[in-house]
């Protein structure tokens, strides 16, 4: 890994070619989610609740928290007064925020030092409450032998627990057909692949009722980026039902809700949660680091933009193409 100060450098925020893009309501909700997580898990999750590698530029956790509080307060004030949002004013941003530009590591630089911007979504897929010939792949809850165990307790007992024993291939072949884990919903094969890849899925049943499912814990087998056929990936995730799409958390009970056009997923271990980021494309897009994933272990060359919930891939790609594939990324810290 290259020295931290060559990844993160003091900079000036570029003038946007167009406007600054911000979804105020979504951003405010996302900030509230992150601040709640900071308050509740500050002592329990030092890896996530931290300044990350920005500490090399003397950024502290207090600075990160102060930035979130400042953005929350002015968003609330502007909403209440019905006036133009100050966070979309480049002059205001330049006056009130210290700016740090994030560069990718050597060898992963993509295009001229730009960060790769991928896009993720929650897809709506058909599902059934009972198994049949077409819907024959289950999303499973945590195995029965792990019920009630904290994440730490499970890690201590991993040599004896079902979750760590079985690969994706063994689970889909029917290792739980006679019991051992509760099937939450039944999907087609392509639906299962989307759920395992995206981490959150929206399932629509025969009555057009929508249910959201989110990853809980995995079998601890890492994702193999060199293996392009998903059928050959051995990593497998167990799920739980949620009311809304979820992002980062220590475990299933602590995962924060994420909001489209506000949540960004990235390398939380190295970046630390809660960083307000500006992505430079045709417009300057503001978001907040509130999620992570298997691609970020580590992943200091990329950022994942949460686009929303979609019924079709066409709808997703229509929105995704408005977001750049590579961009300069800036982190805002309140002065």
Counting residues of the chain whose pLDDT is more than 90, the rounded percentage is 79
Is residue 293's pLDDT more than 90?
no
Domain boundary, last residue among 223, 242, 261? 242
Query: pLDDT at position 158, please?
Result: 93
Is 228 within 8 Å of 274 (Cβ atoms)? no
Domain assignment present for residue 10? The answer is no
Mark whether 89 and 155 lie in a shared domain: no
CA 36 to chain centre: 17
Tell me which of 242, 272, 304 is where a domain ends: 242
pLDDT the model gives residue 296 = 74
Mean predicted confidence (pLDDT) in 101-124: 84
The pLDDT value given to residue 15: 75
- Average of per-residue pLDDT across 135-150: 95
Segment among 113-117, 166-170, 184-188 with least mean pLDDT: 113-117
Q: What is the pLDDT of residue 110?
A: 57
Among residues 242, 264, 297, the one where a domain terminates is 242
Residues 232 and 327 reside in one and the same domain: no
Q: How confident is the model at residue 107 (pLDDT cuts 50, 70, 90)?
A: low
Same domain, 65 and 127: no
Helix (H, G, I), strand (E, B) or coil at 207: coil
**Can you give the pLDDT at residue 182?**
97
Residue 3 lies in a domain: no
CB 62 within 8 A of CB 54: no
Decide if pLDDT at 1 tops 50: no
Is residue 90 included in any domain, yes or no?
A: yes
**Lookup: tokens for 80:** 């209440």
Confidence category of residue 224, pLDDT binned at 50, 70, 90: confident
What is this structure's pTM?
0.86
Residues 228 and 275 in one domain: no
User: Which long-range contacts does 174-182 make (Cβ < 8 Å, 24+ apart)?
Assistant: 176/138, 176/140, 176/143, 179/144, 180/143, 180/144, 180/145, 181/140, 181/141, 181/142, 181/143, 181/144, 181/238, 182/140, 182/141, 182/144
Backbone torsions φ then ψ of 304, nearest 5 degrees: -115, 125
Contact 328, 114 (CB under 8 A): yes
Average pLDDT of the chain to the nearest whole number: 92
The residues near 186 (Cβ < 8 Å, ≥ 6 apart) are: 127, 128, 129, 130, 131, 132, 135, 136, 137, 138
Q: What is the pLDDT, as a whole number, of residue 109?
A: 52
Check which CATH number belongs to the domain holding 81 and give it.
Answer: 2.40.40.10
Q: What's the pLDDT tens digit per position in 258-273?
A: 999 999 999 999 999 9
What mean pLDDT do residues 178-204 have?
94
* Per-residue burial over 11-25, b = 16 or more CB atoms within 10 Å of its CB, e = otherwise: eebeebeeebbbbbe
- Same domain for 201 and 150? yes
Does 237 score more than 60 pLDDT?
yes
Strand extents, DSSP E, the chain? 8-11, 20-21, 97-102, 115-126, 137-140, 183-187, 200-204, 210-218, 237-242, 263-265, 276-280, 284-291, 302-310, 326-334
- Please report, for the domain that includes residue 162, its CATH number: 2.40.240.50
Residues near 37 by Cβ (< 8 Å), separated by ≥ 6?
A: 45, 48, 49, 248, 249, 254, 256, 273
The reply to whether 135 falls in a domain is yes
- d(CA 315, CA 287) in angstroms, rounded, equals 21
pLDDT of amino acid 2: 43
| CA 192/CA 194 separation, integer angstroms | 5
Number of domains observed in the structure of the chain:
2
Q: Tell me whether strands 302-310 and 97-102 are parallel, antiparallel or unpaired.
A: unpaired
**11: pLDDT strictly greater than 70:** yes
Structural domain span for residue 62: 17-121+253-334
The pLDDT, as a whole number, for residue 241 is: 95
**Of residues 224 and 295, more confidently modeled:** 224
């Amino acid at each position: 890994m290259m020295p931290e100060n060559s990844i993160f450098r003091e900079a000036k925020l570029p003038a946007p070619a167009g406007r600054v893009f911000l979804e105020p309501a979504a951003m405010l909700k996302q900030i509230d989610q992150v601040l709640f997580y900071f308050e509740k898990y500050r002592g329990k999750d030092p890896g996530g609740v931290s300044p990350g590698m920005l500490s090399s530029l003397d950024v502290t956790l207090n600075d990160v928290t102060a930035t979130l509080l400042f953005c929350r307060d002015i968003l609330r004030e502007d909403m209440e007064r019905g006036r133009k949002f100050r966070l979309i004013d480049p002059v205001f941003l330049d006056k009130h925020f210290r700016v740090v530009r994030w560069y990718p590591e050597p060898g992963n630089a993509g295009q001229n030092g730009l960060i790769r911007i991928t896009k993720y979504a929650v897809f709506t897929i058909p599902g059934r409450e009972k198994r049949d010939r077409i819907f024959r792949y289950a999303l499973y809850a945590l195995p029965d032998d792990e019920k009630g165990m904290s994440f730490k307790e499970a890690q201590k007992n991993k040599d004896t627990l079902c979750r760590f024993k079985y690969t994706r291939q063994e689970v889909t072949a029917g290792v739980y057909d006679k019991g051992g884990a509760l099937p939450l919903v039944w999907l087609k094969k392509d639906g299962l692949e989307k759920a395992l890849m995206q981490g959150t899925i929206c399932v629509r049943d025969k009555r057009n009722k929508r249910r959201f499912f989110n990853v809980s814990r995995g079998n601890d087998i890492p994702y193999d980026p060199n293996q392009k056929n998903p059928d050959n990936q051995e990593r497998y995730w167990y799920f739980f039902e949620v009311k809304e799409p979820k992002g980062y958390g220590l475990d299933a009970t602590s995962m924060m809700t994420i909001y489209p056009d506000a949540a960004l997923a990235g390398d939380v271990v190295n970046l630390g949660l809660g960083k307000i980021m500006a992505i430079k494309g045709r417009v300057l897009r503001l978001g907040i680091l509130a999620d992570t994933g298997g691609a970020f272990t580590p992943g200091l060359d990329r950022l994942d933009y949460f686009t929303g919930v979609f019924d079709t891939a066409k709808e997703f790609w229509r929105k995704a193409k408005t977001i750049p594939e590579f961009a300069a990324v800036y982190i805002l810290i309140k002065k």
